Amino acid sequence: MKRNIILHPDPRLKKLCAPVTDMTDELRTLADDMLATMYDAPGIGLAAPQIGVLNRLIVMDCVKEEGEKPRPLIMFNPEVIASSDTESTYEEGCLSIPDQYADVTRPAEVDVRWIDRDGNEQTETFSKLWATCVQHEIDHLDGKLFIDYLKPLRRQMITRKMTKLKRELARG
């Protein structure tokens, strides 16, 4: 089931999310709903706080090539356990901050540990777009947005645009 994505500024997007301690069918359904929401948006990643749920859960799929098999990932309690000294810069966007993009520099490669939908611990090394995406989504779990990496003036400008957009959407 598709969920509504909350838009910046919203206090829930700045909150620290609670770890998932018990794998339930409700959480698995939430993860499936998040994937459906992400694909529908369309996006390559989505974190639980973006749909108003303050749990440490992200979903992502950075396969973008036409005809290539999708690779949906569901990650409970994801954490970066190692990162490269080399960095890469990608133009990032966010489903909670539509139509706003900016270059963000992050480690080019990260090792991530998480719990999958079956309760098994997984680890994987991500690079390129996958590394950027997983770091962006984990940031959401810590109440951090990609615009927090920008200079204050640019961040304020984007926040003002988003406030205006939210007002317009509320009017219908």
Q: Which residues are catalytic, by number?
A: 137
Q: Which two tokens stand for residue 29?
A: 């359904």
Q: Which two tokens stand for residue 39?
A: 């694909």
Nearest to 95 by CA among 4, 170, 2, 31: 4
Locate tokens 């500024």: which residue? Answer: 9
The DSSP code for 49 is: G
What angle is formed at CA 30 by the lines to CA 1 and CA 49, rounded to 5 degrees? Answer: 105
Amino acid at 40: D
Q: Alpha-carbon distance 69 to 27, whole Å?
A: 25
Amino acid at 1: M
Q: For 129, what's the count of Cα atoms within 13 Å in the CB-facing half-sphere? A: 12
